[in-house]
Structure 1
Amino acid sequence: MAQLYFRYGAMNASKSIQLLTVAHNYEQSGKKVVVFTPAVDDRYGVGKVASRVGISREAIPISEETDLYQIVEAESVKPHCVLVDEAQFISRHHVDQLVRIVDKLGIPVIVYGLLKNFKNELFPGSAALLCEADKVEEIKTVCVYCNKKATHILKFKNGQPVYSGETIEIAGNDTYSSVCRKHYYTPPVVE
């Protein structure tokens, strides 16, 4: 029975490399996958899923108007799995389309993404996935300052932590860090 999986974690928790590994494993077994990624995440180019370890692949970009269900249904060969990277950036209607892929087409869907933004609020896409996913799985990583589990994302501007501003700013480790709750609220002073 097909299910909708939401696999979330803080930054640097290996979400994208896990997606790429799942895609590779399906394809090595002669099975078809369809991979999506939000167009807003253009760090490595629009329509590209890339891991910080240097592995990448092309994906179908998701814009606000993209109908994921229609794209998957139109495939000439039925996919064995649908994978979505950076799912925090998708909209509620995209989550509804993923639910339809699972329930109407019988295709498992695995989505990877952040749970919360740097303001410590759920992303809308992640909130919708928490409501609809059959299985929610945490991918763990550790705080950059200690060995506790990273549960928060700390944003920096000019080397100083910030807790307000634009919610979506596509950037990397120089702007965001995964931290534990303690270091989110009291980050070490940088001289």
Structure 2
Amino acid sequence: MAKLYFRYSAMNAGKSTAMLQVAHNYEEQGQAVRLFTAAIDNRYGVGKVTSRLGPQRETEVFDADTDFLKVIDQRIACLLIDEAQFLTTVQVQQLHKLAQVRGIPVISYGLRSDFRGEPFPGSAYLLALADDIEELKNICTCGKKATMNIRVDQDGKRMKEGEQISIGGNESYRQACGRCFYSE
């Protein structure tokens, strides 16, 4: 039976690297996969999944208007979604239906919460509907498990206000444990 999987973590835990590895594993066995990432994520160019370790791959993109039930057919072995926190609630429902009704495994990777500790709508629905949920581990600068994300300005000072979505990498975000998240 196919499942909807949600692999989440704080920033910099290797979500994109894990997704690229899964795609490689399927394709090495001659199986077709489709990869999507959020059109809004242009850090390395639109439609590119890029690992901080170096590997990069061209992918399809999704935005709020993407209807996964229309664009995915059953001739694929797996659907892989990066930056899943940017999915709409309707899209998460579509992905769940793809797994449950059409039998297509869907593996999504994303953040659970934003820099204020608030859930992304897509992530909240993934936590509610995913058949399999796994946390990818990362560590805080203090050595504890990182579960939160902190946004910083150009001077490295923590930001506590602003829009939920602001695309950036290590220059804009860092991971933190709960204690460090609340103590800063």
TM-score, normalising length from structure 1?
A: 0.93
The residue that corresponds to 2:110 in the other structure is 113
When the two chains are superposed, the root-mean-square deviation of aligned CA atoms in Å is 1.0
Q: Within the alignment, does 1:99 sit opposite 2:93 as a pair? A: no
Q: Within the alignment, does 1:141 sit opposite 2:129 as a pair? A: no
The residue that corresponds to 1:15 in the other structure is 15
Give, in angstroms, the shift of residue 159 of structure 1. 2.2
Count how many residue pairs are aligned between Structure 1 and Structure 2: 183
Deviating 4+ runs (over 6 angstroms): none
- C-alpha distance after superposition, 1:97-144 (max 9, x if no partner): 10121122101100000000001011110001011100110000000x
1:29-178 alignment, distance < 5 Å: 29-73=29-73, 78-143=75-140, 145-157=141-153, 158-178=155-175
After superposing the two structures, state which structure 1 stretch, 64-73 or 79-88, moved more: 64-73
- C-alpha distance after superposition, 1:47-98 (max 9, x if no partner): 111111111111111011111121112x7xx100000001001101110110
CA distance in 2, matches of 1:124, 1:15: 19
CA distance in 1, matches of 2:94, 2:46: 21
- C-alpha distance after superposition, 1:149-180 (max 9, x if no partner): 00111111232111111111101111110011
CA distance in 1, matches of 2:142, 2:136: 18
- Structure 1 vs Structure 2: percent identity of aligned residues? 48
After superposing the two structures, state which structure 1 stretch, 98-107 or 12-21, moved more: 98-107
